[in-house]
Amino acid sequence: MTMRKPLVAANWKMNGSDALARELTAALATVNLVNVDVLVCPPATLLHTLASTEQCLLGAQNLSQYTSGAYTGELSASLLTEAGVRFVLVGHSERRTLFAESDLVLAEKMQQAIAHGLTPVYCIGENLQQRQQEKTGQVLAKQLAAVYASHPEFIAKSVIAYEPVWAIGTGEAATPEQAQQAHAEVRQQLAQYDSKAAATVRILYGGSVNSKNATELFGQPDIDGGLVGGASLNAEEFLHICQSAKG
């Protein structure tokens, strides 16, 4: 059996504060999480606050598909690495839907991240209508193929986050069985491109993860941690979630 170190990631979205960043790092310093990687993805204005901490890894919520240039408001991979960022979210459902980011754009962002030494957390997931129509596998396969069919070597340099869109911010999490089924399917689909990398890549569950459901979710064989939204804005709650992940 392949051992994968759990990863628990906080996605603060357009929330948080300097005070919360300091509160969270202080809370993380009180526990021994040597067997768990903890990642925090704050708004870009708070990256500097977390850049020097040893309590967590630092991630960005987005990056540009361009290397540099006249793209007002955008942040390139090189600017993020210079700011101390090591991970970056790519393809979160809110970026796909609210900002109309296409599979092509997301593939370009993945290329930028990996070319500059960042580890992309590639987010995939189906909406409620697609699940009801039993198209989950088809949707996930398309989203994975958009990146990995042409670049199978990217699998070993990525983290995958399965986030059913219908469970994000709704309080309705997938059952552990539903989540495990989707994670296993993702791993099987990745194995078509690179079986060795598919066995070792970390696949996170995202979608209303909290301290009450984290232990059961993280206990599933193909779930290697979580991408946590709202619950990560409470330092104590997030700490409990991190402690639920077992190395």
Tracing tokens 């957390």 back to the chain, one arrives at 121
**Mean pLDDT along residues 94-116:** 97
Binding-site sequence positions for substrate: 11-13, 169, 208, 229-230
Binding-site sequence positions: 11-13, 169, 208, 229-230
Catalogue the active-site residues.
Answer: 92, 163
Q: What is the pLDDT of residue 167?
A: 79
- The tokens describing 111, both together, are 């290329």
Give the distance between the most distant pair of CA atoms in the chain: 48
In degrees rounded to 5, what are phi and psi of residue 105? -65, -40
What DSSP string describes 17-70? Answer: -HHHHHHHHHHHTTS--TTSEEEEE--GGGHHHHTT-SSSEEEES---SSSSSS
**Mean pLDDT along residues 158-184:** 88
Q: What is the pLDDT of residue 106?
A: 98
Q: What is the pLDDT of residue 247?
A: 53
Element containing residue 90 per DSSP (H, E)? strand 87-90
On whether the CB atoms of residues 8 and 242 are closer than 8 A, the answer is yes
**Mean pLDDT along residues 1-29:** 93
3-state SS class at 185: helix
- 59-95 pLDDT, tens per residue? 999 999 999 999 999 999 999 999 999 999 999 999 9
Q: Which domains does the chain have, with CATH numbers?
A: 7-47+57-66+86-244 (3.20.20.70)
- 35-44 pLDDT, tens per residue? 999 999 999 9
- pLDDT-based confidence at 2, cuts 50/70/90? low
- pLDDT-based confidence at 3, cuts 50/70/90? confident
